[in-house]
Amino acid sequence: MFYREAGVFKTTYSDDMALLPIPLDKFFVLSVIAFMVLVVPFIASEYWLESILIPVLILSLAAIGLNILTGYAGQLSLGTGAFMAAGAYLGYKFVTAFPDINIVVGVLVGGLASAMIGAVFGAPSLRIKGFYLAVTTLAAQFFLIWLFTKQPWFVNYSISGVPTAPPREIFGFLVTGAESNETARYLFVLSFVIVFALIARNLTRGRIGRSWMAIRDMDIAAELIGIKPLQTKLSAFAISSFYCGMAGALWAFCYINIVEPSAFDINRSFQILFMIIIGGLGSILGSFLGAAFIFTLPIFLNNAATGLGLEVSTALIRHVEFMIFGAMIIFFLIVEPHGLARMWSIAKEKLRMWPFPY
């Protein structure tokens, strides 16, 4: 970023507390959003939209959800996949039960259903902390996936057990299901992500966000200040699950186009946990960076081998990919344990002083 904070003075608290207090920052973020909305649909190929941008955006949403819970409120969870599944299955139930209601409502209902389930499975957090809590959230992961797989009611008694996503329209454009146009789908997902990233940002800098961080950093002091641990932890679980639920619904409706349990297994939970660890705990920007990094790195490595003209078997590529991927994660965690978002802010801090750091 080639700009300085110097010379930006605020005369009111309102200006000082704006979302992006530095004018150039504001300009930059708005132009990124404008680029994503106005330019990308025209220049990106079908492959890019379908196989990279849509899943990265959806996973970013899930990562924001987990970051609220783990990064901000400090409650470790391995149930992300299950909360996504809850959003997908219950969103699917709602959308098929009320076919006339707008799909946006369907996704939100999936999120809300997931929020309620999340609050229930978050209850042990009042007594259990850290790794032990993570193990109790595994109960959610296995129980919910089992429930959705074994109970045919959730898939409307579909014979295959994996029903296809129902096609739904917004403003006359098909946005879900296999027949829909990828650009329409992309814009649909993007608008969800923009709105809810903004909401997450507002929540995390306001009273509730400070309460979450207070519980994370020093729960005893927080309680003595008057922050209620029960309310705060459960609200973190509910809001986190709400985000994961929406992401799950979007994943099923707009990306894989079917509602299937294997998309939300324990590997998904770990994948999203890695995203926030690599991206940066307690950072909304980090959720995006982590999602993009974890999702695209294997694709990049895969293409790199072909690009270099190496004649290797696909099995070997797959294994080497895993090894490089693992090594890079270890490297990143050693170099910057606070993730990509911290690297970004350090770079900005350095540039602010550049070229005269003293």
Name the residues that contact other proteins, by CB under 8 A.
13-14, 16-17, 19, 199, 202-203, 206-208, 210-211, 213-214, 216-218, 220-228, 235, 282
Structure tokens, 221: 């002091």
> Which residue, 22 or 320, is less far from other proteins as judged by CB?
22
In the complex, what is the shortest distance from the CB of residue 198 to other proteins, in angstroms, rounded to a whole number?
9
- b/e per residue, 170-197, with b = 16+ CB within 10 A? eeeebbbbeebebbbbbbbbbebbeebb
Backbone angles phi, psi at 160, to 5 degrees: -75, -25
Q: Is the CB of 16 or the CB of 46 nearer to other proteins?
A: 16
| 71 vs 163, beta carbon nearer other proteins | 71
In angstroms, what is the minimal distance from the CB of 207 to other proteins? 5
CB closer to other proteins, 52 vs 201: 201
For residue 223, the minimal CB distance to other proteins (Å) is: 5
Kindly tell me which of 25 and 223 has the beta carbon lying closer to other proteins. 223
**Closest distance of CB 12 from other proteins, Å:** 8
